[in-house]
């Protein structure tokens, strides 16, 4: 399956950062991670830090799946508001999900510091825009709920928004715990750091067969090599959802555009905040360290890559004109545009951990617009499970929730 197409910006900008060999011999290990996108990279990094004998296998080059297409806004806020989540799971679990996601975003900042590599990590505030006057009450409730939990965020009214930005909206939430990153460079840097802790990384290595044994799993690669592992981690992104009989996610297509560097960010507020909106499908915006603007959105329930790709041109025009409506004073010239496949889980949360159909495996299905936030949680939960340690967040993301 093609996970993305067009010209995702990050691999074009960064080139091939680190080379890894394909697997060409049989190997034995404690944990085999299938998938070297941002999820597999974070898991390998955490397992490497814990001293677990780990190998990583990817059929493509490292970080060339959805990770290369990601716009990489790092947010604790989910597509499902805390108040909506509380209706589904009860206030205690909903609060725990939001608190776990906030810790995950903080952890991403710590990792960025630990890596000491150029991964385009920048802390940002995040602006969540109401669409219609009907949303104002909902935004106030959400603001109050999150404040009660100790979240640092402001409720902006129509006047505040007009003073700071070049567009009008009835309300917005401005949160202070967000960031952005270059997801491709980030995944490379994580795997590079993991290899320094003896994690073995093999790309262009397609896992074509998997068998459960009494003591673990045996994997076969397309080149005929065998991997024997006590545990396997499925970090294959949207390609992993076919491993479970019950459909757990809906695949949708999303589109993104990056501009040429701009000379001014007129009307964007003080810190070039991340921007996204309550409307569905929503528009999401960020800037890059080299002064570009990335606009994403226009999601559609299309899983066929050919149909998805035929729409890139039209979606590029729509995203560009939506950007110009918001920021008429910023000159926006399209440099690259692309499409990617996105998975949506109905309740908005990730699935992380064991599934009864695979007794020696862990899943890390960090789908949705907060995929990277969920990937960190997956890395911590799976590391703790491998080490036999308790993890307070694990129950929130289990399959039978």
Q: Which residues bind ligand FAD (CB under 6 A)?
A: 3-4, 34-40, 57-60, 64-67, 69-73, 206-207, 235-237, 239, 254, 256, 296, 340, 342, 366, 369-373
Nearer to ligand FAD, 91 or 281 (CB): 281
Report yes or no: 86 and 144 within 8 Å, Cβ to Cβ: no
- Minimum distance, C-beta of residue 275 to ligand FAD, in the bound complex (Å): 11
- Minimum distance, C-beta of residue 144 to ligand FAD, in the bound complex (Å): 26
- Minimum distance, C-beta of residue 163 to ligand FAD, in the bound complex (Å): 27
- Minimum distance, C-beta of residue 79 to ligand FAD, in the bound complex (Å): 11
Nearer to ligand FAD, 36 or 248 (CB): 36
What phi and psi values does residue 11 have, to the nearest 5 degrees? Answer: -65, -30
Nearer to ligand FAD, 155 or 371 (CB): 371
- Minimum distance, C-beta of residue 373 to ligand FAD, in the bound complex (Å): 5
Q: 260-290 b/e with 16+ CB inside 10 Å = b? A: eebeebeebbeebbbbbbbeeebbbbbbbee
As a whole number of angstroms, the distance between CA 106 and CA 81 comes to 20
Q: What is the CA radius of gyration of the chain?
A: 21
As a whole number of angstroms, the distance between CA 224 and CA 395 comes to 38
Residue pointed to by tokens 């899943």: 363
- Minimum distance, C-beta of residue 69 to ligand FAD, in the bound complex (Å): 4
Nearer to ligand FAD, 65 or 216 (CB): 65
As a whole number of angstroms, the distance between CA 352 and CA 211 comes to 21
Nearer to ligand FAD, 39 or 391 (CB): 39
Task: Give the containing element (helix H, strand E) for 260.
Answer: none
- Minimum distance, C-beta of residue 4 to ligand FAD, in the bound complex (Å): 6
Nearer to ligand FAD, 241 or 354 (CB): 241
As a whole number of angstroms, the distance between CA 348 and CA 345 comes to 5
Residue among 239, 241, 206 nearest 1 (CA): 239
Report yes or no: 62 and 191 within 8 Å, Cβ to Cβ: yes
By beta carbon distance, the residue nearest ligand FAD is 371
Nearer to ligand FAD, 155 or 376 (CB): 376
The residues near 98 (Cβ < 8 Å, ≥ 6 apart) are: 76, 77, 78, 82, 85, 146, 149, 151
Nearer to ligand FAD, 32 or 172 (CB): 32
- DSSP single-letter state for residue 198: T
- Minimum distance, C-beta of residue 369 to ligand FAD, in the bound complex (Å): 6
């Amino acid at each position: 399956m093609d996970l993305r197409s067009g010209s995702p910006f990050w691999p074009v900008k960064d080139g091939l950062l680190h080379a890894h060999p394909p697997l060409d011999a049989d190997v034995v290990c404690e944990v085999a991670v299938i998938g070297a996108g941002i999820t597999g990279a974070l898991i390998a990094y955490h397992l490497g830090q814990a001293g677990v004998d780990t190998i990583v296998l990817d059929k493509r080059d490292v970080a060339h799946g959805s990770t290369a297409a990601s716009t990489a806004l790092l947010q604790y806020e989910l597509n499902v508001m805390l108040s909506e989540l509380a209706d589904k799971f009860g206030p205690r679990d909903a609060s725990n999900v939001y608190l776990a996601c906030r810790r995950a975003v903080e952890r991403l900042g710590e990792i960025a510091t630990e890596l000491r590599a150029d991964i385009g990590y920048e802390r940002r505030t995040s602006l969540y825009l109401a669409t219609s006057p009907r949303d104002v009450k909902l935004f106030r409730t959400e603001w109050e709920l999150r404040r009660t939990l100790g979240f640092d965020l402001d409720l902006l009214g129509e006047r505040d928004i007009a003073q700071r930005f070049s567009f009008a909206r009835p309300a917005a939430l401005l949160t202070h715990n967000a960031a952005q990153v270059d997801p491709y460079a980030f995944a490379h840097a994580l795997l590079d750091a993991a290899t320094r802790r003896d994690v073995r990384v093999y790309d262009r290595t397609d896992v074509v067969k998997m068998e459960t044994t009494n003591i673990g799993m045996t994997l076969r690669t397309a080149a005929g090599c065998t991997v024997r592992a006590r545990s396997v981690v499925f970090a294959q992104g949207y390609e992993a959802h076919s491993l479970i009989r019950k459909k757990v996610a809906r695949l949708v297509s999303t589109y993104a555009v990056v501009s040429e560097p701009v000379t001014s960010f007129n009307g964007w507020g003080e810190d070039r905040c991340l921007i996204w909106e309550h409307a569905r499908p929503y528009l999401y915006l960020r800037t890059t360290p080299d002064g570009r603007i990335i606009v994403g959105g226009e999601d559609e329930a299309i899983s066929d890559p050919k149909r998805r790709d035929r729409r890139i041109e039209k979606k590029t025009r729509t995203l560009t004109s939506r950007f110009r409506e918001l920021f008429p004073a910023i000159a926006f010239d399209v440099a690259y545009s692309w499409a990617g496949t996105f998975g949506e889980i109905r309740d908005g949360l990730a699935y992380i951990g064991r599934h009864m159909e695979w007794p020696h495996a862990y899943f890390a299905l960090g789908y949705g617009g907060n995929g990277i936030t969920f990937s960190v949680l997956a890395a911590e939960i799976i590391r703790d499970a491998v080490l036999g340690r308790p993890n307070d967040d694990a129950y929130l993301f289990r399959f039978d929730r």
